[in-house]
Each structure stands twice: as C-alpha cells, then as structure tokens.
Structure 1
C-alpha cells in the first residue's frame, strides 16, 4: 500500500475509533454540555472525511473519481483539524493529546497534497 493511502486510511480508522469510543462514553473532551456539544459538532465533518477517505482507498488508481475523492478527503480532514486548533487557540487551552491529534489532521493532508502535486509535476516525492 502506498504511503499516502496508509496515512489516510490509518487517520480515517482512527477517527472511526475515536467516535466509537466517544459514543460509548469511554473517552470525553471534558466536562460541560457546551464542550460536549462543540465536540459532537465535528461528527458530520469527520464522517464525510472518513467516507471520502475510505472510498478513495477502495477506488482503482485510474478511476475518474479517484482524484476528486482524494482531494475531498484531504480537504475535510484538514478542515476538521484546523477548526479544532482554532478553537483551542481561542479557548486558550493546552492539552498535548488534543493538540497533537489535531495538528496531525491539519498537517497530514497538506503534506499529502504537496506530495501529490509534486508527483503530478514530475518532481521526486516519497509519498
């Protein structure tokens, strides 16, 4: 499996695990209905990212929807992470576990997008 597919599939499966554990009450973003509502507001966006990412991973490489589905998955994943990081900055909170996960959601799609553009331009890439 190619590097970009591994990164995206692991990220999507991580989101599935996160939302499953959250729904079961095993993990939480903290106390307070407001904070829990904020967290659940990400569910539709994360679900779209998961669907797009896993769909792309199953499509043949040359399928006409492969590139748009990949770009959509990266955009949704990036947006979810960026929204969370923006909240953490505005809320002035620091929790390494939340920051690191959401920095991954922000930076991983950017790295994959840059690698994909370089590959299309004929430049060397590792992804």
Structure 2
C-alpha cells in the first residue's frame, strides 16, 4: 500500500470514529457541542435521523479502511479489496451528503467541503487500486 493511501485512510477513518464518538457522547449528554459547529437543522427530528442513517456506512468504511492499513502492514494481500470497499463507501457517504446539501441549497463550507473531499480524495487511488486488484498476481 502506498504511504499516501495508508495515511489518507487512517486519517479519514479515525476522524470519522471521533465524529461518531462525539455524536454519541453529545446524544448521551456527556459532552456539549456548540450549535455554531453543527449543520443546518441539527435539532430537527428528520435531520437527526438523516445524520444517524450514515452511521452504518461510515462505520463500514472506517473499519474496512483501518483493516486495510493493518493488513498492508502485515503484508496480507487482503488489503486491496478492503481498501476498495473503504474507498467506495467513502465516496458513497460523501456523495450522499453532497446530494442532500445540494438539494436543500445549503452550501455551508464547514459541512459541504469536507463531504466534497470524501468524494474527491479516493478518486486519486481508486483507478490504480482497481487495476491492481483486477490483475492476476505475477
């Protein structure tokens, strides 16, 4: 695994685990998150449900990405399919959020740009990873 991919996966995945941990702690009333740091409609039941609907997808890409980095460090070829899964789910999660914010006409850079990044950065690695995975081992 290229170092840039390992770093990109690890940083993204750890940040998402931190986001969901903070969200869970805020839901439990353990921590307070300033309304200024929140997305539009964060306190509305439908928007809350929309946000939490991302949890399974975000956990899937975070866990598969971290497992890919771990497998690559151990020299296991399973890292490629795990990384592909992680990257595909990352693009899907970012794309879904971008679609949502776009449909609402909500272009708050603090939420829109990070989600756009989730769509863009995996594209630097997906074509090569797909080629490597599709090629028979030498």
The structure having more radius of gyration, on CA atoms, is: 2
Following the alignment from structure 1 to structure 2, what is the Cα–Cα distance between the partners of residues 38 and 22? 13
Task: Report the counterpart of residue 78 of structure 1 in structure 2.
Answer: 91
Following the alignment from structure 1 to structure 2, what is the Cα–Cα distance between the partners of residues 6 and 76? 17
Task: Report the counterpart of residue 20 of structure 1 in structure 2.
Answer: 21
Following the alignment from structure 2 to structure 1, what is the Cα–Cα distance between the partners of residues 51 and 64? 21
Aligned Cα root-mean-square deviation (Å): 1.8
Alignment of 1:12-51 (within 5 A): 12-25=13-26, 26-27=32-33, 28-29=38-39, 30-51=42-63
Q: Which runs of 5+ in 2 are unaligned?
A: 27-31, 133-138
- Offset at 1:66? 1.6
Task: Report the counterpart of residue 105 of structure 1 in structure 2.
Answer: 118
The normalised TM-score by structure 2 is: 0.78
Task: Report the counterpart of residue 58 of structure 1 in structure 2.
Answer: 70
- Offset at 1:63? 2.0
Q: Which runs of 5+ in 1 are unaligned?
A: 121-127
